[in-house]
Amino acid sequence: MRRALTASVLAAALTLGGVAPAFAEGTDPGASAGAPTAAPTSPAPDASPSASPSASPSAPVLTAPPAPTVSGRFRDGSTVRVAVDGLRWGGTPDAVRVQWQRDGKDIAGATGASYALRAADVDRKVRARITATAGDASVAATTKARTVEPGVTSEQRLKSRLQALLKTLPGRYTLEVAELDGGRRHVAVAATQHREPASVFKLFVAYGVYTRIDRGQLRYTDRLASGLTVRSCLRAMIEPSDNYCATDLRLKIGTGWLNGLLHSHGLTGTTFWYDGRRTKTTTTADVTTVLERLARGELLSKASTAAMLRQLETQVWREAIPPGLPDGVRQASKCGTLWTSTGMVQTDSAIVWGKRSRYVLTVMGSNGATIPSITKISKAVYRELQGPSGKAFVYDRQQMRATGSLVLTQSVSPGSRVLGRYGAGTKVEVVDSLRTRYLVRIAGRTGWIDNTHLTLRHKIL
């Protein structure tokens, strides 16, 4: 009834050309004019963004990516680079900014993807902070902070100091310093010059012997021309630096074969001849390379590496490089002394386990070179690479002690007159050797003993 009435009213109004009256929703158009009516309701706005042409799109939401990677060595003088282009922020940022930091503080001007490390960064932690922005929002990703090792500035300082020191020392020297870890600093002075190695050449013979053993071509129990075993002569060749055992072992593995081994592994500065005119030559660089590879475990098998290092740690002539080190610092060394027509040759080479890093030092002196000069070089190198040192190692000429009964004889001949008998714990100074028979001084007497019951007095670190 109500719908019919409403329709008739609308039709009448339209027929007369009038405007249809507006009735509030829910009111009765037939009600009296005085009845209250509800206010008109405004149409609901369109929630669609297209309805408002002036509305701006919302900014993308960014998320921090995993820690970015950095390439390059963290050492003074090197350039490191952070990988920025591959970072995923979860959206497209308006801008990406890089800021390098030192110990958490911004480094002025260091805002590129690459950063050249400098002396001010040494022993400080450096990292890169990458910030992405979108609108008023920003998000950051930070690389792992890395400690910067000494590098080119330290190398230049050490080289200058060594060159100045060499001018004050008697004799002529070549040398090389190679840091095995840390900043891997490297300094060389005439390291590729060919030199007389003196007894340092025994490092190469030992390398050849252990290589034959590793390849199954030689055994420790094999007999040499002297009747001694390979094991016995290896000890004698290094411990007191015996020349006779060095010859026995070189002939056993073959001089030509040894040269081939050395040259095929890049040690082309070293050659053995023994042809009546020449004997041997090497370079400081070759000696350093052998000790570097030995220290890194790259020269020999694991077992042979341990055996050779042990021998170098227990050799008795520790009066050149070791006294330039603080007491208690581990070292494995091989030295040499030889008189030539141009004067004394003094050489030494060592692997040193410093408080900051490991390094190899090789020094070859000629034309009147001296042991104290090599000690000064060693001290200067340690101070630059490791920092201030404490009390220095003191070389004791009574290098060994008896582990059992010793019989001191006048010569190496069987039935030689006995000069004395000594018990375990007796201090022994080694003077020379003839294979496994050592010429020694005990309690003021000089004579020969067998090395069976001898050991190094100093603690092996």
Are 103 and 164 part of one and the same domain? no
Residues 124 and 168 in one domain: no
Instruction: Tell whether 184 and 333 lie within a shared domain.
Output: yes
Q: Is pLDDT above 70 for 7?
A: no
Q: Residue 57: what pLDDT?
A: 58
Does 9 map to a domain? no
pLDDT surpassing 60 at residue 326: yes
* Residue-wise DSSP of 162-210: HHHHHTTSSSEEEEEEEE-STT--EEEESTTSEE--GGGGHHHHHHHHH
**Number of domains, the chain:** 3
**Do residue 238 and residue 136 come from a single domain?**
no
Q: Is residue 2 part of a domain?
A: no
Identify whether 259 is part of a domain.
yes
Does some domain include residue 56? no
Say yes or no: 288 and 376 in one domain. yes
Could you say which of 330, 360, 386 is where a domain stops? 386
Q: Six-digit token pair at 254?
A: 């073959």
| Residues 88, 200 share a domain | no
Residues 142, 184 share a domain: no
Residue 28: the pLDDT is 39
Domain that holds residue 139: 70-147
pLDDT in tens, 143-187: 999 999 999 999 999 999 999 999 999 999 999 999 999 999 999
Question: Both 135 and 160 in a single domain?
Answer: no
* 46, 22 contact by CB (below 8 A): no
Q: DSSP letter at 326?
A: B
Query: What pLDDT is recorded for position 458?
Result: 79
CA 230 remoteness from chain centre:
34
Within 227-317, strands assigned E span 271-272, 280-283
Question: Looking at the domain assignment, is residue 246 inside a domain?
Answer: yes
What does the pLDDT look like over 187-236, one tens digit per residue?
A: 999 999 999 999 999 999 999 999 999 999 999 999 999 999 999 999 99
Contact 449, 437 (CB under 8 A): yes
Say yes or no: 406 and 373 in one domain.
no
Same-domain pairing of 197 and 317? yes
Whether 26 is covered by a domain: the verdict is: no
pLDDT of residue 420: 97
CATH number reported for the structural domain that contains residue 437 in this entry: 2.30.30.40
- Taking 80 as the threshold, does the pLDDT of residue 461 lie above it? no
* Structural domain contains residue 188: yes
Residue 319 lies in a domain: yes
Of 356, 386, 416, the residue that ends a domain is: 386
In this structure, the answer to whether residues 202 and 310 fall within a common structural domain is yes
Give the domain-ending residue among 100, 126, 147. 147
User: Concatenated DSSP letters for 101-159?
Assistant: EETTEEPTT--SSEEE--GGGBTSEEEEEEEEEETTEEEEEEPPPEEBBP-HHHHHHHH
Q: Residue 318 corresponds to which amino acid?
A: R
Note whether 173 and 100 are same-domain residues.
Answer: no
| Model confidence pLDDT, tens digit, residues 28-72 | 334 433 444 444 444 444 444 443 344 345 667 899 999 999 999
| CA dist., res. 191 & res. 158, Å (int) | 15
CATH number (domain holding residue 156): 3.40.710.10
Looking at residue 384, its pLDDT comes to 98
Percent of the chain with pLDDT over 70: 87
Write phi, then psi, for 437 (nearest 5 degrees).
Answer: -100, 125
CATH number of the domain enclosing 84: 2.60.40.2700
Specify the range with the lowest mean pLDDT, choosing from 21-25, 225-229, 284-288. 21-25
